[in-house]
Amino acid sequence: MTSKRDRSDDFDAFVKNQQPTEQGARIDWVQERERWLGDLNALYEKIESFLAKYIEGGTIKLEYGEMSLNEENIGAYTARRMLLRIGRQEITLTPVGTLLIGARGRVDVVGPAGRTRFVLVNSQASRPQIKMTVRIAGQPEPPPKAEPREEIKWAWKIATSAPTIQYIELTQESLFQVLMEVANG
């Protein structure tokens, strides 16, 4: 059983970890929201370009609707949701948010026969990668390793289902495949 002193030390560490860091204090949340909305619009433009022939021919109807999102630190804001009508099938692309673990954004693609996810991730990534640090209680915390920070190029990709999530490049062909799968085509 832990002593009162151990619990007090644990609580002290907990309180310390909950305090904003210098890095956290420097985040411009309005800028983060605007960046996310720009990334979302870039995804929609890419999809529109892939479907241009069908939209112009009238065989796919495209609509946008407004929706509300609320994320910690960013707060409440409005984003666009895309609706595709392909004959009798309706497929929605619904933004989930930007403050996610392992991705800078997520959009759910939902149709009558299923769902999948578009994620905004490092263009070099082929699957999720999460780094962890294990610390043993009572041991001094080692200094963080100085790793060179590379500029990340972000790209929208298709995330396969768990448990073995893979990222697939978002191309015209992969978009067509996703739309057929969620519409049971």
Q: What is the mean pLDDT of residues 157-176?
A: 93
CA 158 – CA 126 distance, rounded (Å): 10
Say if residue 20's pLDDT is above 70: no
What is the pTM (predicted TM-score) of this model?
A: 0.77
Starting at the edge strand found earlier in the chain, the sheet holding 114-122 runs 60-71, 75-86, 89-97, 105-111, 114-122, 154-159, 167-169
- Within-domain flag for 23: no
Amino acid (1-letter code) at residue 104: R
- Within-domain flag for 6: no
CA 112 – CA 20 distance, rounded (Å): 43
Token pair 């996310």 is found at: 36
- Quote the number of domains for the chain: 1
- Within-domain flag for 138: no
pLDDT of residue 77: 95
Strand partners, 85: 61, 90
pLDDT in tens, 100-142: 888 889 999 999 999 999 999 998 888 887 666 677 777 766 6
User: Among the residues of the chain, which ranges form H helices?
Assistant: 4-17, 22-25, 29-56, 172-182
Determine the structural domain holding residue 81 and report its residue range: 28-126+152-182
